[in-house]
Amino acid sequence: MALCVTITGVSYDLAVWEGAPPADDRAAAAEFDRLYEQYIESDDPAEPTSRIAAYVQALVNRFPDIDPEGRGPLLYFAMAWSRSDEVSALAADLAREHQLNCYDPQQKHLRTKQWRFELTSERGSTFYDPDADTVRDVLVRLSNDNFFAILTRDDNWYIQAGYGEQAGARPGGYALERQDGGPDQHFRAELTDVEDLVRGFVCFLEDDPTLAARFAWQPYLL
């Protein structure tokens, strides 16, 4: 039984399966590899479980132009790359509703884990619940060609950094901004040392209450 949707051109894949939630991305990758070998590479196709079948029906109801098929507790399917943002976001939401796991093999991360922090930059990967070393590694790479990074918390508070004139800072300098809730609580400071930038991000990551007094913040209207 064919499992992946056949799509002309580049595709984007997702895996959805039934079982205990993996502890982290590494555990999710290992479980995905195990299930793929057992159910996708097997010559003995298994009928989808009732939960996977219900998930497939919900997905098709929303996107009738795709035709995913499950094997046992696993669904591995493709979508057009041009629609991957829309379809993968809904697929992950549906997986949560059906108490299933959703894993992204391209980004190598678990889409259904409840992350507290998300770190992204203009030209880098996305990191979920990053540690201080990861934060530093992202920030020291800021440049004219990769000029911003943002660390968002699950309550939509965030801290972000911009490099140089593209961020409205002096050449070679940094603009550090934070938003404590709504846009009327947005503040900005200008820094020259990347290590100060790192300390600001780590304070936010660690819920350090001294962040508000650490820099010369000024109210900043968006």
pLDDT in tens, 24-40: 889 999 999 999 999 99
Percentage of the residues of the chain whose pLDDT score is greater than 70: 95
CB 16 within 8 A of CB 32: no
The residue type found at 134 is T
User: Can you give the pLDDT at residue 113?
Assistant: 77
Q: Is residue 200 part of a domain?
A: yes
The residue type found at 121 is S
Using alpha carbons, list the distances in angstroms from residue 172 to 160, 164, 181, 190: 16, 5, 29, 11
Q: Which domain holds residue 163?
A: 117-219
The DSSP result for 201-214, as a single string, is HHHHHTT-TTHHHH
- Clarify whether residues 74 and 130 are in a common domain: no
Q: Is residue 6 part of a domain?
A: no
- Clarify whether residues 106 and 131 are in a common domain: no
- Clarify whether residues 68 and 86 are in a common domain: yes
- 178 in helix, strand or coil? strand
**143 phi, psi to nearest 5 deg:** -160, -175
Of 110, 129, 163, which residue is a domain's last? 110
Rounded distance between C-alpha atoms, residue 11 and residue 151, angstroms: 29
**Please, which pLDDT band fits residue 186 given cuts at 50, 70 and 90?**
very high
Of 110, 141, 164, which residue is a domain's last? 110
- Clarify whether residues 89 and 136 are in a common domain: no
Q: Is residue 4 part of a domain?
A: no
Using alpha carbons, list the distances in angstroms from residue 158 to 29, 72, 155: 28, 41, 9
Q: Is residue 188 part of a domain?
A: yes
Q: Is residue 150 part of a domain?
A: yes
pLDDT in tens, 39-95: 999 877 899 999 999 999 999 999 988 888 899 999 999 988 888 888 999 999 999
Residue 216 reports pLDDT greater than 60: yes
**Please, which pLDDT band fits residue 206 given cuts at 50, 70 and 90?**
very high
> Could you tell me the maximum CA-CA distance found in the chain, to the nearest angstrom?
65
Rounded distance between C-alpha atoms, residue 38 and residue 77, angstroms: 16
The DSSP result for 90-143, as a single string, is HHHHHHHHTT-EEEETTTTEETTS--SEEEEESSS--EES--HHHHHHHHTT-B
The residue type found at 176 is L
Of 78, 110, 142, which residue is a domain's last? 110
- Clarify whether residues 132 and 77 are in a common domain: no
- Clarify whether residues 100 and 17 are in a common domain: yes
- Clarify whether residues 124 and 213 are in a common domain: yes
The residue type found at 65 is D
- Clarify whether residues 133 and 201 are in a common domain: yes
Considering its fold, how many domains does the chain have in total? 2
CB 215 within 8 A of CB 204: no
pLDDT in tens, 126-140: 888 899 999 999 999
- Clarify whether residues 29 and 66 are in a common domain: yes
- Clarify whether residues 207 and 132 are in a common domain: yes
Rounded distance between C-alpha atoms, residue 146 and residue 27, angstroms: 31
User: Can you give the pLDDT at residue 190?
Assistant: 97
Q: Is residue 201 part of a domain?
A: yes
**Please, which pLDDT band fits residue 2 given cuts at 50, 70 and 90?**
very low
Q: Is residue 1 part of a domain?
A: no
- Clarify whether residues 102 and 178 are in a common domain: no
User: Can you give the pLDDT at residue 5?
Assistant: 35
Mean pLDDT of 97-111: 92
Counted residue by residue, the chain has a size of 222
Q: Is residue 29 part of a domain?
A: yes
- Clarify whether residues 106 and 16 are in a common domain: yes
